[in-house]
Amino acid sequence: MKQIIFLASLIVFLAATSFAQEKIEAPVWNMGDKWTFTGDGSIEVIKADQSGYILKFSERKCIFESQGCNTILFQKATLNRINSVEGNKLKKYTMGLSKMLDFPLSSGKQWKYAYSGKSFIGGGMHPTAYDYSENLKVLGWEDAEVRAGKFKALRLEYKRVVTGTSGWGVLGEEIKNHYWYSPDVKYFVKCQYDKDWMKQDNNIFNWELVSYELKK
């Protein structure tokens, strides 16, 4: 009887230990860390200090993921986007994907973020204002094989829904895609959109890691 109780306690302990180990904290980025992706795109850490990390996105890198901002300041603890950087000036980041990464990460974690943006959809002279809701969920661990190699990665599901508009936009319109984050790489190794969204530009919106360099 004592042996059974001991085994049961051991199973609970191991399960709890496994769960704790699955919790992934924000990586430490260093100046010079760089990731190169399909589509001739790249991201590089150009500054790392107590205020956070400043990353520079190449013009060809994942148009949607950069949200039109070439240089962005990320918070150290969560890797939330907190400022866009223009020269020596910081401007509060109010675009999408502000909480694309929201550490710590673990299987099943969910979070939301809302923001507003403008678009010249339809070729009009005046932009249409949109309200968006971003919904993210960590689906679990998977093996992700990309050009840079094979990595253990957390798969994140991302959904962006139009919740309000000042024009003729479609309320409820949704974008859905998946990201694979690798602790070994310290960034995403892959992004894939639903096949029916922007399928004419799959080489831009669907991407994977080609190479990376991590400084010590």
Dist CA 105 CA 183 (whole Å): 10
- The domain tally of the chain equals 1
Report yes or no on 84 lying in a domain: yes
- At residue 20, the pLDDT reads 40
Report yes or no on 18 lying in a domain: no
56 lies in which domain range?
24-210
Dist CA 193 CA 158 (whole Å): 9
Share the mean pLDDT of the chain: 85
Phi, psi dihedrals of residue 4, rounded to the nearest 5°: -65, -45
What residues are paired with 138 via a beta bridge?
Answer: 156
Answer whether residue 197 shows pLDDT above 70: no
Say what the pTM is.
Answer: 0.83
Report yes or no on 69 lying in a domain: yes
Report yes or no on 72 lying in a domain: yes
CATH number, domain at 78?
2.40.360
Mean pLDDT: which of 39-43, 153-157, 175-179 is highest?
153-157
Average pLDDT over residues 94-118: 93
pLDDT band at 32 (very low <50, low <70, confident <90, very high): very high
Report yes or no on 6 lying in a domain: no
Answer whether residue 2 shows pLDDT above 80: no
List, in order, residues 6 or more apart from 184 with CB less than 8 Å away: 151, 152
Q: Specify the DSSP element, H or E, that contains 214.
A: none
160 within 8 A of 96, measured Cβ to Cβ: yes
Report yes or no on 7 lying in a domain: no
70 within 8 A of 55, measured Cβ to Cβ: no
Report yes or no on 185 lying in a domain: yes
Give just the sign of the alpha carbon dihedral 105, 58, 202, 214: negative
Report yes or no on 11 lying in a domain: no
